[in-house]
Amino acid sequence: METITVKDLSFKPFISEEELDVAIKKVAQKINEDYKGKTPIFLGVLNGSFMFMGDLMKSINLDCYTSFVKMASYEGTESTGKINELIGLNEDIEGKDIILVEDIVDTGNTLVKLFDILKEKNPKSIKIATLLYKPEAYNKDHKIDYVGKEIPNAFVLGYGLDYDGLGRNLSSIYVLKD
């Protein structure tokens, strides 16, 4: 695998398809064990989670629902500040077991906002599954239940993750070259 250029930046290979496959199957196996006899709702967080969600779900052997949500963030009035809205949640999640599926947990900001919005809808439980996790960048207390791979605090690209909207289609993960 070679260095690639996306827009104005160079990236080098970081996590291969094979390594991703192993990490994803491990997460799936743990979820299959933990949710035996339950019917959870997997909620993929768009856009970045689409590839992870696709591959993860192929190894889930539970009775389950599969759906996607998206965080929309826009400027409100001066007094309200930034508004975070969850869009795309059509199902009633009250009393349900939710597994949020993320491509990456970086600072944890997105995760905490999502969690707070979902909690108000009274699900029975909410757990987080993420393909990648940057422990050095994470500044929240919230537990992350299922992690595919811990990575250093560097910008990564591919397998759903983008740089300025580009690179989501890459089938493995690249890291910014220094």
Ligand X SMILES: O=P(O)(O)OC[C@H]1O[C@H](OP(=O)(O)OP(=O)(O)O)[C@H](O)[C@@H]1O
Which entry of ligand X, ligand HPA, none binds 156, CB below 5 to 8 A by partner kind?
ligand HPA
Contacts of 162 (CB under 8 A, 6+ apart): 47, 48, 168
Taking the alpha carbons at both ends of the chain, their separation in whole angstroms is: 17
For position 161 contacting ligand HPA by CB under 6 A, the verdict is yes
For position 20 contacting ligand HPA by CB under 6 A, the verdict is no
Q: Decide if 11 contacts 17 (C-beta within 8 A).
A: no
Backbone angles phi, psi at 41, to 5 degrees: -105, 115
For position 155 contacting ligand HPA by CB under 6 A, the verdict is yes
- Binding pattern to ligand X, positions 67-106, x when CB under 6 A? -----------------------------------xxxxx
Which entry of ligand X, ligand HPA, none binds 102, CB below 5 to 8 A by partner kind?
ligand X
Contacts of 116 (CB under 8 A, 6+ apart): none
Contacts of 141 (CB under 8 A, 6+ apart): none
Nearest approach in angstroms of CB 91 to ligand HPA is 26
Q: Which of 21, 92, 106, 141 is catalytic?
A: 106
Element (H, E) at 55: helix 50-58
Which residues between 103 and 132 bind ligand X (CB under 6 A)? 103-111
Quick check: is 106 catalytic?
Answer: yes
# binding residues, ligand HPA (CB under 6 A): 7
- Residue of 99, 156, 170, 173 that binds ligand HPA (CB under 6 A): 156
For position 97 contacting ligand HPA by CB under 6 A, the verdict is no
Looking at residue 114, its amino acid is L
For position 48 contacting ligand X by CB under 6 A, the verdict is yes
DSSP-assigned states of every residue in 96-132:
-EEEEEEEEESSSHHHHHHHHHHHTT--SEEEEEEEE
Residues lying near ligand HPA in the complex (CB under 6 A) are found at 104, 106, 155-157, 161-162
Binding site for ligand X (CB under 6 A): 45, 47-48, 102-111, 162
